[in-house]
Structure 1
């Protein structure tokens, strides 16, 4: 069985791999900033509202299910973050992040959790866009590592939280 030290060392090595790519390719920082902004939350609400307005049957189901999933995900994510209390790489390592994080702790990633809630609910209601939504969620997560505010394990944990919350809510509400 892998030790926590082995997992942490691998996670840190992978984090540095992303940082090396960012240093080698100047445009990756700008791209990562823009992709990360997709996960700030405004777009989720805007798209949900537009779908509910212009696509009344499935759009309203998506909005209702999405809001319920976010109501479940947000407190769980905050609870885990404040119980685990893992420092962000920009606080632990000799590295300045590209963006300023909103809080001190990084595990699990809130951007990844929200992106995967959104992707899972959208894929459930609109299966034809499932691949695209999950690719965007993955890119949002990767952008947070590139920007220096999360380790890769933070992203994986956030993705798990988001998917589990969405699937739980889909099971309860349907859609």
Structure 2
């Protein structure tokens, strides 16, 4: 338990460091727009493109990866029940209203890294772009005040891991 308390302490320090940046208002405004891109319609568009271009093997892999990721995400969210920064920290209010109660792991980050990994395998020429986008999703969730940094790190691990497994099993 002492290790978890130490990790949480370091996480809170990193969170407050992000909140203390000179350009926090700018980062928050940009974060609203960036975070919106991971709300889901972009993922549906990718699935539609895979269907349209008759890439059924990739479409099945994508849907399988998301099914695995969502199951593990909900299991983790409801098992760890980590409070979001606005509930865990005194005198802090997040900049948006989160869609659920708990913060660990970050679902937006998990989905973004799943897509980044997936698209990097499907269209590797743009892998820097995909991961730049996913990393910005992770940062946006912290700058919006709805996640601690480790929430986004574990979201990235979860999303990437699920994409890795689905592609490895279904694409080979």
Normalising to structure 2: TM-score of the pair? 0.92
5 Å-filtered alignment, 1:138-157, equals 138-157=135-154
5 Å-filtered alignment, 1:56-75, equals 56-57=53-54, 59-75=55-71
Distance 1:89 1:25, change over 3 A: closer
Q: In 2, distance between residues paired with 1:15 and 1:141?
A: 13
Match of 2:16 in 1: 16
Distance 1:166 1:5, change over 3 A: same
Q: In 2, distance between residues paired with 1:37 and 1:18?
A: 20
CA deviation vs aligned residue, 1:29-63 (integer Å, no higher than 9, x gap): 1100000001111111113313532xx25x54433
Distance 1:63 1:142, change over 3 A: same
Q: In 2, distance between residues paired with 1:3 and 1:161?
A: 21
Q: List gaps (5 residues or longer) in structure 2.
A: none
Match of 2:114 in 1: 117
Match of 1:172 in 2: 169
| Aligned length, in residue pairs | 170
| Secondary structure in 1 matching 2:20 | helix
| Secondary structure in 1 matching 2:49 | helix
Normalising to structure 1: TM-score of the pair? 0.90
Contact persistence 2:57–2:170 (CA under 8 A) = no
Q: In 1, distance between residues paired with 2:113 and 2:149?
A: 15
Contact persistence 2:24–2:143 (CA under 8 A) = no
Q: List gaps (5 residues or longer) in structure 1.
A: none
